[in-house]
Amino acid sequence: MTDKILVVDHLAASVAGQQVVEDVSFSVPATGITAVLGRNGVGKTSTLKGVLGLYQRTGEVTLAGERIDDLPTHKVVQRGVGYVPEDREVFSKLTVAENLRLAERKGAVTAERRQLVERLFPDLVERRDQMAGTLSGGQQQMVALARALVNDNRVLLVDEPTKGLAPLIVEQVTEALREASATVPILLVEQNLEVVRRLAGEAVVVAGGRVVHTGPAADLLADEALTQRLLGVHAETPDSRPDSRQVAP
């Protein structure tokens, strides 16, 4: 069995005729969290959408040794690629329970997955009958994460899960991701470098629609000059607050 769950090779993607990913190559280990970093607008979210087939794409994407770049998005998801989109995108007029039921894939939901979701997000259990649109931003983010975690996926693509959240909620989401990564590998787009420091084993840096750096996340963040050059921000100290540093625009 390969130690890489996801391999992306020379991926390019476009939307409405505009190229948004130029040439991206990287791999995701079969365990832990891999962070995708970069300034705003460089193609991080577009890379995830290219992998999923939400954008027109060329290049190769391999999941557990199987080519998936020729599959439509729903088939990619059926193969075991979970997705937590930027800005949550919950169904606001449905309850929490209905949001989760809609996300369930036949044959992919086990008792263990349900128990994991209930353990990570006890607040959602209490609010299962509440309309998702009436939840706080942090609670909606938990719904978005729970929708992906309720299925037995091979890999999760998680896009900016701490964006716009209060420090206490950032802490809760960070811990949820840490626990989840013990059961499923995660490809994480994240601007908060302290969250990356705490969670990620590997880092992929994107600039101008291309990968410009790959390697251990700890090594990148320990290199002040490299972090400044690639991300436009000084690396945090280990005791920084979770919301203290963001990648520069």
What pLDDT shows up at residue 88?
83
pLDDT by residue (tens digit) across 55-73? 999 999 999 999 999 999 9
What pLDDT shows up at residue 1?
41
173: its two tokens? 């989401």
- State the pTM of this model: 0.91
pLDDT of 124 over the 60 cut:
yes
- The span from the CA of 120 to the CA of 214, in Å, is 30
Arithmetic mean of pLDDT, 34-48: 95
What pLDDT shows up at residue 63?
98
Cα-Cα-Cα-Cα dihedral of 238, 27, 6, 48, to 10°? 70
Taking a C-beta distance cutoff of 8 angstroms, is the pair 192, 36 a contact? no
Arithmetic mean of pLDDT, 148-159: 96
Arithmetic mean of pLDDT, 152-180: 95
Q: Please tell me which residue, 52 or 238, carries the higher pLDDT value.
A: 52
- pLDDT > 90: what percent of the chain? 86
Computed over every residue of the chain, the mean pLDDT equals: 92
pLDDT by residue (tens digit) across 205-249? 999 999 999 999 999 999 999 999 999 876 554 444 444 466 766
What pLDDT shows up at residue 237?
46
What pLDDT shows up at residue 59?
97
Beta strands in the chain (DSSP E): 4-15, 18-29, 33-37, 56-63, 66-67, 81-84, 155-159, 186-189, 202-207, 210-216
Query: What structural domains and CATH numbers belong to the chain?
Result: 4-231 (3.40.50.300)
Taking a C-beta distance cutoff of 8 angstroms, is the pair 24, 77 a contact? no
pLDDT of 171 over the 90 cut:
yes
What pLDDT shows up at residue 144?
95
- The span from the CA of 107 to the CA of 102, in Å, is 14
Rg (the chain; Cα; Å): 17
pLDDT by residue (tens digit) across 73-87? 999 999 999 999 998
